[in-house]
Copies of this chain bind each other. A is one copy, B any other.
Amino acid sequence: MALKVQKYGGSSVADIDHIKNVALKVAKAYDNKNDIVVVLSAMAGITDHLISMARKAAKSPSNRELDVLLATGEQTTAALLAMTLKDMGYPAKSLLGFQAGIITDESSGKARIIDIKADRIKRLLNKKNIVVIAGFQGNTLNGDITTLGRGGSDTSAVAIAYAVNADICEIYTDVNGVYTTDPRICNKAKKIDTISYEEMLEMSVLGAKVLQIRSVEFAKKFNVPIHVKSSFNEEKGTMIVNESSYMESVVISGVTCDKNETRITLKKVPDHPGISAKIFTPLADAKIMVDMIIQNTRSDGRTDLTFTVPTYDFKKAKEISEKVCKEIGATEILTADNIAKVSVIGIGMKSHSGVAATMFKALASENINIRLISTSEIRISCVIKAKYAELAVRTLHTAFGLDSKKTIDA
C-alpha cells in the first residue's frame, strides 16, 4: 500500500513485447494495492533516429522544433503502454507533459522543470487510475513543448514523485543497480544496496549509465528516495537515499574511472591576483566544463597551472589556452590526453582518516605514478597514465574491501 512512481527506460520499452512486460510489472504493483504513476522513456534508439531525421531536414535544426519532434518518442510509448494496460482490464490513462502539468523554463532541449501542477495526476490517482506519463517532456507557460535533455525521463520521474508526494521513485533500467565499480573493468564489482545522494553524484561516471545525474540532484534537494533496479528480473536494486537515513559504516562506496579527460598545463604563469579568472573566464564563455584545477607554487614567483577538460572539448580548450598563455605571459603549454582519473568515493571518508594514504599506498604497490590529485569532502581523485586505469581500479577495489566473494562472471 504505497504511492509509487515507476520509471522505465528505453531498453525496457524497446518494442511491443518489452512494453507488455512493463505492463505486467505495473499491473502486479497495482494488484498489490499500490497507487501507480508510470513515467516512460522513448523506445531505445528512437531519439537518435529522430535527431538524424532532423539533421537531414536542417543543417542546424531549431531547438524549439527539435523538442516538438523528440517529444513524439515518449508520446508513442505512453500511448502504447496505456492501451496495453487497458486491454488487460486495468484503468490506465496516458498524459503528455502538458497534460501532466509539467511546467519548464524556455530552454529548448535542456529545459528545467520549474513547477508541476499535479492536480490532474492526483485526480486520476484518486479515481484509482494507473497514470502513464510521457517522460522527458514538459511545457512552458506559453504553451510550447520542451524536452529536458538526455536521460531527462529520470528527472521527470523524480520531479513527479516529489509533486505527488510518492513513497518511492523506482527507476527501472537494464542493469541490476549501481555497482561499486564498472563490472567490465573489475569482475569483483558488487551491487551497492544503499548509497547516499552525495555519493551517487560523485559517482556520476558510473551513475550516468544508470540514471541522469540531474535527477539525483533533484532527489537530493527534495529528499525523494530512489530505487534503481532491473526491469528484467525481480532482484532488489540500489536505494539512493539521504545520508542520514542509512546507517551502514562503509568508508568507501565505490571506485570510478574516467578516461574522457585531457590535461592542459600552463607553465610559469605569473602568480598575481586575477590571473586565474583570465584563464578560466574564456573557457567558461566557450561552455567548456573544466573539471580538476591544480595549482603548484614555484619558487620563482610563478606558478604551474594544470586543469582537465572533457576530451571532446580539448581542441577548443587548447586554442583558447594558447591565446590566454600569450596574453598573460605564461611560458608554454603542455597537454596530455593519455590520462585517466580514478576516484574513490564514500560518505564514510568524512569521519575516517587514512583514506588518502590507503589509496596512495595501493597505487604505489603497483608502481602507478600519480600525476594530479584532487579531493572533495567525499571523494579522492588521482590522475594517472591511462594504460594503468583498469589495474588501478581493481587494486583500489580490493584495497578498500569492496570485492564480492563471487566474481560477476562466475
Chain A residues within CB distance 8 Å of chain B:
16, 19-20, 50, 53-54, 56-62, 64-66, 68-69, 71-72, 75-76, 78-80, 82-84, 86-87, 93-94, 96, 98-99, 120, 143-145
With contacts A68-B75, A72-B72 known, is A83 near B96, CB below 8 A?
no
In the complex, the count of this chain's copies comes to 2
In the complex, A53 Cα to B120 Cα: how many Å? Answer: 28
Evaluate contact between A60 and B75: CB separation under 8 angstroms: no
A64 to B: closest C-beta gap in Å: 7
Evaluate contact between B53 and A99: CB separation under 8 angstroms: no
CB-defined contacts of A143 to chain B, threshold 8 Å: 98-99, 120
Residue of B nearest to A67 (CB): B79
17 CB < 8 A contacts A-B? A16-B53, A16-B57, A19-B57, A50-B76, A54-B79, A58-B87, A61-B87, A62-B86, A65-B79, A65-B82, A66-B79, A68-B78, A69-B79, A72-B75, A75-B75, A98-B98, A99-B143
- Of all A-B residue pairs in the complex, the 3 with the closest CB atoms, nearest first, are A58-B87, A69-B79, A65-B83
In the complex, A154 Cα to B19 Cα: how many Å? Answer: 34
SS of A interface (majority): helix
Residue of B nearest to A81 (CB): B57
> Among B65, B76, B87, which residue has its beta carbon within 8 angstroms of that of A72?
B76
CB-defined contacts of A54 to chain B, threshold 8 Å: 79-80, 83
A74 to B: closest C-beta gap in Å: 10
Evaluate contact between A87 and B57: CB separation under 8 angstroms: yes
- Not counting A62-B82, A68-B82, A96-B145, a sample of 11 additional A-B residue pairs whose C-beta atoms are within 8 angstroms of each other reads A19-B57, A20-B57, A54-B79, A57-B83, A58-B83, A58-B84, A58-B87, A64-B94, A65-B79, A68-B79, A72-B75
A15 to B: closest C-beta gap in Å: 9
Evaluate contact between A83 and B66: CB separation under 8 angstroms: yes
> Among B59, B62, B75, B80, which residue has its beta carbon within 8 angstroms of that of A71?
B75
CB-defined contacts of A80 to chain B, threshold 8 Å: 53-54, 57, 65, 69
Evaluate contact between B84 and A57: CB separation under 8 angstroms: yes
In the complex, A93 Cα to B324 Cα: how many Å? Answer: 41
CB-defined contacts of A78 to chain B, threshold 8 Å: 68
Residue of B nearest to A65 (CB): B83
CB-defined contacts of A19 to chain B, threshold 8 Å: 57
Evaluate contact between B94 and A65: CB separation under 8 angstroms: yes
CB-defined contacts of A50 to chain B, threshold 8 Å: 76
In the complex, A96 Cα to B137 Cα: how many Å? Answer: 15
Residue of B nearest to A66 (CB): B83
Evaluate contact between B76 and A59: CB separation under 8 angstroms: no
